[in-house]
Structure 1
Amino acid sequence: MRAWQVTELGEPAQVLATAEVPKPEPGPRQVRVRVTAAACNFADVLLCRGKYQAKPELPFTPGVELCGAVDEVGPGSSPELLHRRVVGRPVLPHGGFAEYALLEAHSSFVVPPDLDDITAAALHLTYLTPWLGLHRRAQLQPGEVLVVTGAAGGVGTAAVQLGVAAGAQVIAIVSDARKAATVRGLGATNVIDRSSTDVIEAVREITDGHGADVVFESVGGEAYRQASKYIAFEGRILLIGFASGTIPQPRLDHAFVKNYSVLGLHWSLYLDHQPELVRAAQDDLFELALAKRIKPLVRTAPVDDLPQALEELAGNRALGKTVLTSG
Structure 2
Amino acid sequence: MGVKSKAAAAILVLLLFLGSLWLQGGLDYQWDSCLKGYNQVNTLHQLYNSSEADGAEGPQVIEGCPGQTFQVSLLLSHLLAAPAYTSDVRLQPYLSSWDELVRFMEALGPMVGLISKEIESKTTIIRQLALLSEGNPEAELGPDIHSINGVSAEDGAKNNQELSQHTGAYHSVRSMIWVELNRGLVDFHHQTESGCRTLLRLHRALLWLKLFLEKLAETPVAGRLRSPSELCREAYQSTLANHHTWFVRRAAELAFIAMPERGFFFRLVCVQSQEEMNTVLNRVVQSIGEVYDRTQKALEENNMLDLP
TM-score class, shorter: under 0.3
Larger fraction in helix = 2
Query: TM-score when scaled to structure 2?
Result: 0.25
Task: Select the structure that is richer in strand.
Answer: 1
Higher RCO structure (Cα 8 Å, ≥6 apart): 2
Q: Give the TM-score normalised by the residue count of structure 1.
A: 0.24
